[in-house]
A and B are shown apart, each in its own frame.
Chain A
Amino acid sequence: MTSRTIFIYGAPIVAGAFFLIWYILPIGWVVAISFWDYSPIGRNNAPVGLENYREALTQDHVFWAATRNTAYFTFGNVVLGTLLALVIANALSRTGAFTRLAETAYVMPTLFSVVAAAVVWEEIFQPRFGILNNGLYFITDTLGLPPFPEIGWTTTTEWSMPTVILFGLWKFLGLRIIILLAAIEAVPRDLYEAASLDGVTRRQQFFHITIPLIKPALWFVVIAGIINSFQVFEPMYVITDGGPLRSSISIVMLVAETAFERQRFGYSAAISVILFAIILAFTAVLFWLRGRSEAK
């Protein structure tokens, strides 16, 4: 048997084994234990059928709070993040000399670890001593404006989610800008020149040339953003610890808490499977919409 033959037959086996061990088996295991009252350190592991799913969907108000918060984060992070990235990328594509400098500035937050950045922002958001509130106080005091109220960025139920979204926008904006900027810069310049000669305004160029031609990149940003946002964990965990009063707990935080704090790995697995189903459903719908959009 030649080395070429070995490679031809061996490569798929290695790839398949890798896929089986690192993807199929763990997913299968999670699905399997979601039907059990299971803990790796439990003595009374027993099958419970659909009970874990029933509990999550009909009984556990924290699960629904986590689902709402995750949807809220996803909406804020994806919609605001994509719009903001689109506007900035479009502006950067026209600034010439400053483009690279600005790109670097926007991408910088992406390079920090989420946890390290969140720790810093936790201090910035600290209501009494953080520089954000104190900066606002300084401005209003200096200008002689009415006193700025103390905003409980991380300590009130009203502000905890906006705070986490704000962090998410700062942290994840850079990558979106890079992707969209690359797509915008790939649009042939002569299309814009021809449009200008025909009297098309810049605004019209943006909606009728730029947007249609960068659609694949936009779809990618939206779909990847939704998948990542539904799995959000670190920003909430570090900045607000899911609080106060569970007002910023995410689904993945609940998965971790249920497994490692309450040792209910079976229940935690059921929540994971539900999350998987939600992401799958969203992704399927988005791919369908993309297909329809491209067909037009």
Chain B
Amino acid sequence: MAYELNRRQAILTSAALGALTLPQIAIAAGHGQAATGVPYEKKDQINDGAPIKLEYWEWSGQRADYQRKWAEAYMAMYPNVEIEIVLQPWDSYWPSLITNVPAGAGPAMWHMHASKQTEFCGGDLMDPIPQSAADPAYLAENWIGFAEGAMACGSGSIHTVPMGAMMPLLFVNLDKWEAAGLTEADVPTTWEELRAVAVRLTERDARDRITVAGLSMDGQEWLQNAVYQQGRYLFNEDGTKVQVDNPEYRAALKFIQDLVHTDKALDNEIASTRFEALPAGQTAMYIGFSWIAGFLRANAPDMRWSAFLLPTPDGELPPAYGNIRFAIEAVVNPYADDATKAVAWDFWHFNYSREDVIVEDLALFNGFLPPYAKVLDDGRVTEDPIAATMAPAGQFGVINDLPNVIRDEQLELVTAIVLGQVDLDQLLADSEAAQNSLLSERDDWNIIERNYANHDLMIADQ
């Protein structure tokens, strides 16, 4: 069955993802140092040769390693510049930025997170990309996320580029898979098959206590993807209310309820997002976004694992496969002094104009699909197993990044199910009211799920 892509500008992502299985994709002109649409050229000197120091904040030690290499390469070109990559723990990262940046302090640059974009847009806490660093039209035409509305603030200003696109996958510990006598033919494609496999993979001790859970997951992500898979959006048409109290949400929660309380095959700590349980051998399968591939490559090099597409209710990708998210890159402090901002933007330009950086560091290292169309037929991308796994589902991915407060409430729903809440009707009604109350605290959320390329396949009139 062929599905037509029906919104030209809204489907760049899908087309880009599809390109991984197609021979070619139309790409804009450019070369290895012009990925932002403005070629980066080395200057004779920067900041008039005067010494200048920049701080660049990051919360992931994994990424900080390659960011230090970027800084070293840049400092080798401009010895008067010192760039320090500063690791800050996630929990204090955002409070520090929110309080320091408006006060005129804080780092010159920091790695941004898509879930915080609305608040940072609302507070003007990110400097807009200058024309000298990137061409907005070129970004919209050649990078994913811009045309879909995922990258812009409400005012239309853009502040950074995406790291890449990530989709949910089913990660499997192959040793446990084979030990249970499972083969490639057993890879689940439907929810029911997933249940059956999870039961087979669950290990118990002599007293019937679970020693290895068959399945674990980020419960919030499961909920979001499972609802999309049934053709239901999470929000109403204008993005002002959530859609929770409905049969699709109920079915998604019922699946978890059955796995925990009937099959007893699900790690009952799914609410705490224990993806470390997979490399630790505490769960045989894990459902999570593709960034987990990067985590496993970096932290569990000896583990034998594989990733598969997420099972769907009936084994078919339409009406939707799940959520596509764009992790995003570094932004510049708008309150930094002019000299600092100039150097920061030059460093930014130097990094994101390089195709090697986009392919190897931003995307594949982190388990993402590259965000830049020109590199999608690069051999490193086409041969990457994670990228190849995600490719068929690309056109059925719903682009949206949920507000943090909604994610938290979804997790509460899953937690309630795990803890034995059985009255799903009451639970869904209460959660819908709570989510709507939180959503009403702002009116500038960037809810873009209805830009889904295959919108026509979703439930009508919802």
Residues of chain A whose beta carbon lies under 8 Å from any beta carbon of chain B = 39-43, 127-129, 137, 141, 147, 150, 152, 155-157, 237, 241, 243-246, 256, 259-264
- The answer to whether A41 and B271 touch (CB under 8 A), given A262-B441, A263-B98, is no
Having A128-B267, A259-B95, one finds 14 other A-B pairs with CB under 8 Å, namely: A40-B103, A41-B102, A42-B122, A43-B122, A127-B268, A127-B269, A152-B268, A155-B268, A155-B272, A244-B418, A256-B95, A260-B95, A261-B408, A263-B98
Contact pick for A261, options B103, B280, B404, B419, CB 8 Å: B404
Give bound CA distance, A128 to B267, whole Å. Answer: 9
Q: In the complex, A40 Cα to B96 Cα: how many Å?
A: 12
Task: Pick from B123, B207, B269, B419: contact of A42, CB below 8 A.
Answer: B123
Q: Are A263 and B119 interface neighbours, CB within 8 A?
A: yes
Residues on A with beta carbons closer than 8 Å to the beta carbon of B412: 245-246
CB distance from B53 to the nearest CB of A (A): 26
Residues in B neighbouring A40, C-beta threshold 8 A: 98-99, 102-103, 123
Q: Counting CB contacts under 8 A, is B405 at the interface?
A: yes
Enumerate 26 A-B pairs (CB-CB under 8 Å) in ascending A order: A39-B123, A40-B98, A41-B102, A41-B120, A41-B122, A41-B123, A128-B209, A128-B267, A128-B269, A137-B207, A150-B209, A155-B268, A237-B91, A241-B272, A243-B271, A243-B415, A244-B418, A244-B419, A245-B415, A245-B419, A256-B95, A260-B94, A262-B405, A262-B438, A262-B441, A263-B442
User: Which residues of B are found within 8 Å of A245, using beta-carbon distances?
Assistant: 412, 415-416, 419
CB < 8 Å neighbour of A41 from B91, B125, B415, B441: B125
Nearest CB in chain A to that of B125: its residue: A41
Looking at the assembled complex, report how far the CB atom of B116 sits from the nearest CB atom of chain A, in whole angstroms.
10
Task: Please measure, in the bound complex, the distance between the C-alpha atom of A241 and the C-alpha atom of B274, giving whole angstroms.
Answer: 14
| Residue among A41, A141, A237, A262 with the highest chain B CB neighbour number at 10 A | A41
User: Would A264 and B441 be within 8 Å (CB), given that A41-B98, A155-B268 are in contact?
Assistant: yes
When C-beta atoms are compared, the residue in chain A nearest to B404 turns out to be A261
Q: Separation in Å of the A151 CB from the closest CB of chain B?
A: 12
Interface string of B316-342 (1 = CB under 8 A from A): 000000000000000000000000000
| Bound: A241/B416 CA distance, A | 15
Report B417-440 residues with CB < 8 Å from chain A CB. 418-419, 438
Question: Is B210 positioned at the interface, with any CB of A under 8 Å from its CB?
Answer: yes
Chain A positions within 8 Å of B282 at CB level = 128-129
Question: Chain B residues in contact with chain A, CB under 8 A?
Answer: 91, 94-95, 98-99, 101-103, 119-120, 122-125, 207, 209-210, 267-269, 271-272, 280, 282, 404-405, 408, 412, 415-416, 418-419, 438, 441-442
Q: Which residues of A contact B91 (CB under 8 A)?
A: 237
Q: Which residues of B sit under 8 angstroms from A243, Cβ to Cβ?
A: 271, 415
Q: Which residues of A contact B415 (CB under 8 A)?
A: 243-245
Give Cα A40 to B124, complex, Å.
11
In the complex, residue of chain A having the shortest beta-carbon distance to the beta carbon of B91: A237
Q: Is B98 in contact with A157, judged by CB distance below 8 angstroms?
A: no
Shortest A53–chain B CB gap in Å is 17
CA distance A199 to B87 in the complex (A): 67
What's the nearest-Cβ distance from chain B to residue A292, in Å?
Answer: 43
A41 to B121, CA, bound (A): 9
Distance between A191 CB and nearest chain B CB, rounded to angstroms:
52
| Min CB–CB distance A21 → chain B (angstroms) | 16
Minimal Cβ-Cβ distance residue in A for B405: A262
- Give min CB distance, A63 to chain B, whole Å: 13
Q: Is the CB of B98 within 8 A of A261?
A: no
CA distance A27 to B280 in the complex (A): 47
Q: Shortest Cβ distance from B257 into chain A, in angstroms? A: 16
In the bound assembly, the distance between CA atoms of A256 and B94 in angstroms comes to 11
What are the 10 tightest A-B residue pairs by CB atom distance, in nearest-first order? A41-B123, A260-B95, A147-B207, A244-B415, A40-B102, A263-B119, A245-B415, A41-B102, A41-B98, A155-B269
Q: Considering only CB atoms, which chain B residue lies closest to A156 in the complex?
A: B419
Q: How far is the CB of A121 from chain B (nearest CB, A)?
A: 15
Q: Is the CB of A41 within 8 A of B119?
A: yes
Chain B residue, CB-CB nearest to A43: B122
Give the Cβ gap from B371 to chain A, nearest Cβ, in Å: 27
Q: In the complex, what residues of B have CB within 8 A of residue A127's CB?
A: 268-269
Shortest distance from the beta carbon of A203 to any chain B beta carbon, whole Å: 45
Expressed in whole angstroms, the minimum distance between the Cβ of A45 and any Cβ of chain B is 11
Residues of A within 8 A of B408 (CB): 261
Q: Specify which chain A residues have a CB less than 8 angstroms from the CB of B419 in the assembled complex.
A: 155-157, 244-245
Cβ–Cβ < 8 Å partners of B268 in chain A: 127, 152, 155
Q: Separation in Å of the A85 CB from the closest CB of chain B?
A: 31
